[in-house]
């Protein structure tokens, strides 16, 4: 008898639909204009290289990563498109950015100096301004001081900022950040450090969809969506019809009938109230399933929601399938995705785990094999 192949014995896998990713980028481009597709952190867990390629063929004019190393990896795979590096980088990484033709978002004068010293030009990078988030970006007075100290006039390839609360539609800080950023751009235009043809980049997914996303500036706008290109709604009340690209499934390994009063899982946080069929599914927090989830959390078993009982273990989780009599050992269950009319979105799992919508896929561990459709 032949030995079973690795695929036969897989306990869990994540299917990634690159055709849907391409379609999402195309749709966003048609509605909102130029897109820099955010593929940092292994494309939020979906796979850096295949997702970057799919985003480019869907029409993204640029790709955004967090670190120069991620950019280098993409260049090594032959990606020719502009690669933006969003997070502040060590000045030591400036030379790598220059050699790999990466476009860093400059958040410190130390990095700017190192980038220019390494032969980079201001037009090859974006000036990142802190318009109110207090994370990356130069404060405007520091940016003005850097410009004043420069021996040669600096004209950046683009000017960017990042929104802190675009995914909270009622929050007023987005409006305030917009106002600050617009004022800063006008000031930079006033001193000749930018013009009305300088590219500006403000919006993440939620920012793009928000009513507050308006500017009187004539500058070309480059949006930076992450969540949306993967079909993840940034907030339940601000959605756009992109298609989810990920399905995450795992197999039921054993089903046991437990009598009433029997504990399930570490810490005995769940105790059966009736004769219960408890299925043990081969996926756990070491695969990236959130360890802490609310009591309503479920997976789909034969097209029906089955609640998780007890705590999620490292390699397994357990669900109550008492009311799903057909459920059998060896069944595939769905953690994210749909079965018939029932579905669990990434955003739903995020809300059960009380984490940001970007979390569940970004946390998918390398132990979960990715299966791609639509690979180029
Ligand atoms: C600077 C920056 N721009 C854009 C994004 C994309 O955000 P989202 O996934 O909400 O679209 C991120 C994500 O964290 C980011 O850090």
Question: What does residue 10 show for φ and ψ, rounded to 5 degrees?
Answer: -60, 135
Question: What does residue 210 show for φ and ψ, rounded to 5 degrees?
Answer: -80, 150
Residue 51 and residue 98 share a domain: yes
Q: Which two tokens stand for residue 330?
A: 């060896």
Residue 212 and residue 76 share a domain: yes
E-state strands within the chain: 12-17, 36-38, 62-65, 82-85, 102-106, 126-128, 158-160, 199-201, 246-258, 263-264, 270-271, 276-281, 298-301, 304-307, 317-320, 332-339, 342-344, 370-373
In a domain, 224, yes or no: yes
**Number of domains the chain contains:** 2
In a domain, 221, yes or no: yes
* 233 Cβ closer than 6 Å to some ligand 1 atom: no
The answer to whether 202 and 179 are in contact (CB under 8 A) is: no
Q: Residue 78 maps to which CATH number?
A: 3.20.20.10
Residue 224 and residue 257 share a domain: no
Q: Which two tokens stand for residue 188?
A: 């930079």
Give helix then strand counts, H and E, for the chain: 11, 18
Atom of ligand 1 at shortest range from CA of 225: 11
Residue 102 and residue 51 share a domain: yes
Q: How far is CA 171 from CA 36, 165, 182, 357, in A?
A: 25, 7, 19, 18
Q: Ligand 1 mean position to 272 CA, how many Å?
A: 42
**Residues in CB range of 236: below 8 A, 6 or more apart:** 347, 351
The answer to whether 316 and 278 are in contact (CB under 8 A) is: no
Name the catalytic one among 32, 40, 151, 289: 40
Q: How far is CA 246 from CA 227, 335, 346, in A?
A: 12, 10, 8
The residue from 202, 230, 258 where one domain ends is 230
Residue ranges of the chain with per-residue pLDDT less than 50: none
- The tally of CA atoms less than 13 A away on the side-chain side of residue 186 is 9
Residue 289 and residue 167 share a domain: no
- The DSSP bridge pattern shows strands 246-258 and 12-17 to be antiparallel
Residue 224 and residue 262 share a domain: no
**Residues in CB range of 155: below 8 A, 6 or more apart:** 122, 123, 193, 194, 195, 198
In a domain, 279, yes or no: yes
Q: CB neighbours (10 Å) of residue 269? A: 12
DSSP codes joined into one string, 79-148: --SEEEE-S---GGGHHHHHHTTEEEEE--HHHHHHHHHTT--GGGSEEEB-SSSSSSSB-HHHHHHHHH
Q: Ligand 1 mean position to 376 CA, how many Å?
A: 25
How far is Cα 305 from Cα 340, in angstroms, rounded to an integer?
A: 12
How far is Cα 338 from Cα 334, in angstroms, rounded to an integer?
A: 7
In a domain, 261, yes or no: yes
Residue 201 and residue 61 share a domain: yes
pLDDT at 170: 73
* 38 Cβ closer than 6 Å to some ligand 1 atom: yes
pLDDT at 173: 87
* 226 Cβ closer than 6 Å to some ligand 1 atom: yes
Q: How far is CA 221 from CA 26, 159, 205, 214, 216, in A?
A: 16, 10, 14, 11, 12
Atom of ligand 1 at shortest range from CA of 229: 11
Q: Ligand 1 mean position to 302 CA, how many Å?
A: 35
In a domain, 237, yes or no: no
Q: Closest Cα partner for 60 from 24, 102, 11, 96? A: 24
* 204 Cβ closer than 6 Å to some ligand 1 atom: yes
* 98 Cβ closer than 6 Å to some ligand 1 atom: no
Q: Residue 285 maps to which CATH number?
A: 2.40.37.10
How far is Cα 316 from Cα 252, in angstroms, rounded to an integer?
A: 10
Intra-chain end-to-end CA distance of the chain, in Å: 36
The residue from 230, 262, 289 where one domain ends is 230
Residue 67 and residue 36 share a domain: yes
How far is Cα 210 from Cα 239, in angstroms, rounded to an integer?
A: 10
| Domain with 334 in it | 246-344
* 207 Cβ closer than 6 Å to some ligand 1 atom: no
Residue 110 and residue 69 share a domain: yes
Name the catalytic one among 121, 151, 266, 372: 266
How far is Cα 262 from Cα 44, in angstroms, rounded to an integer?
A: 39
The residue from 230, 255, 287 where one domain ends is 230
Residue 259 and residue 185 share a domain: no
Residue 224 and residue 332 share a domain: no
pLDDT at 376: 83
Is-catalytic flag, 40? yes
What element of type H or E holds 266? Answer: none
In a domain, 354, yes or no: no
What element of type H or E holds 184? Answer: helix 173-190
Residue listed under structure tokens 């690159």 = 18
pLDDT at 2: 64
Residue 200 and residue 100 share a domain: yes
In a domain, 8, yes or no: no
- The DSSP bridge pattern shows strands 12-17 and 126-128 to be unpaired
pTM for this predicted structure: 0.96
For the stretch 26-73, pLDDT in tens is 999 999 999 999 999 999 999 999 999 999 999 999 999 999 999 999
In a domain, 352, yes or no: no
């Amino acid at each position: 008898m032949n030995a079973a192949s690795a695929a036969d014995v897989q306990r869990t896998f994540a299917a990634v639909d690159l055709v849907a990713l391409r379609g999402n980028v195309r749709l966003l481009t048609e509605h909102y204009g130029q897109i820099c597709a955010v593929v940092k952190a292994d494309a939020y867990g979906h796979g850096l290289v295949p997702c970057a390629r799919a985003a480019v063929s869907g029409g993204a004019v640029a790709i955004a990563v967090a670190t120069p190393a991620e950019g280098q990896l993409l260049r090594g795979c032959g990606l020719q498109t502009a690669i933006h590096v969003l997070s502040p980088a060590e000045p030591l990484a400036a030379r790598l950015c220059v050699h790999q033709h990466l476009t860093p978002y400059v958040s410190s004068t130390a990095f700017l100096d190192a980038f220019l010293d390494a032969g980079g030009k201001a037009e090859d990078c974006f000036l990142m301004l802190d318009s109110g988030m207090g994370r990356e970006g130069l404060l405007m007075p520091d940016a003005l001081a850097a410009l004043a100290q420069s021996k040669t006039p600096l004209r950046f390839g683009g000017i960017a900022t990042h929104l802190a609360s675009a995914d909270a539609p009622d929050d007023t800080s987005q409006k305030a950040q917009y106002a600050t950023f617009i004022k800063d751009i006008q000031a930079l235009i006033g001193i000749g450090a930018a013009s009305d043809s300088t590219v500006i980049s403000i919006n993440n997914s939620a920012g793009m969809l928000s009513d507050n996303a308006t500017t009187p500036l004539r500058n070309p706008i480059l949006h930076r969506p992450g969540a949306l290109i993967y079909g993840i709604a940034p907030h339940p009340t601000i959605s756009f019809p992109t298609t989810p690209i990920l399905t995450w499934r795992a197999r039921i390994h054993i089903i046991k009938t437990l009598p009433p009063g029997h504990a399930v899982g570490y810490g005995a946080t769940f105790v059966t109230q009736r004769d219960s069929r408890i299925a043990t599914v081969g996926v756990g927090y070491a695969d990236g399933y959130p360890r802490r989830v609310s009591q309503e959390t479920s997976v789909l078993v034969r097209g029906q929601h089955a609640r998780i009982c007890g705590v999620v273990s490292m390699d397994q989780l357990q669900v109550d399938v008492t009311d799903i009599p057909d459920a059998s050992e060896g069944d595939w269950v769905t953690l994210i995705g749909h079965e018939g009319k029932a579905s669990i979105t990434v955003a739903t799992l995020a809300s059960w785990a009380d984490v940001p919508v970007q979390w569940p896929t970004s946390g998918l561990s390398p132990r979960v094999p990715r299966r791609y459709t639509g690979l180029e």
